[in-house]
Amino acid sequence: MNTNMLSFITATALGISVIGAGLATAQAAPVEPVKVEADRLDLDQRAGTAVYRGNVEVRQGEMNLRGARVEIQRNDNGELSRATAFGERAYLRHQPDGQEEPIEGEARQITYHVAERRVELIDQAELNQGGDHFSGGRLEYFIDKEVVQARSDVEGSDNQRIHMTLQPEQ
Query: pLDDT, tens digit, for every residue of 134-149?
Result: 999 999 998 888 888 9
Instruction: Please provide the average confidence, as pLDDT, over all residues in the chain.
Output: 80
Residue 23: which CATH number? 2.60.450.10
In-domain check, residue 170: no
Number of domains in the chain: 1
Residue 165: partners with Cβ closer than 8 Å, 6 or more residues away: 131, 132, 133
In-domain check, residue 14: yes
Query: pLDDT, tens digit, for every residue of 95-114?
Result: 877 888 899 999 999 998 88
Burial annotation 89-123 (CB, 10 A radius, 16+ → b, else e)? ebbbbbbbeeeeebbebbbbbbbbbbeeebbbbbb
Q: Which domain holds residue 74?
A: 3-165
Say how many residues make up the chain. Answer: 170
Q: What is the reported pLDDT for 154?
A: 83
Q: What is the reported pLDDT for 149?
A: 92
The amino acid sitting at 111 is T
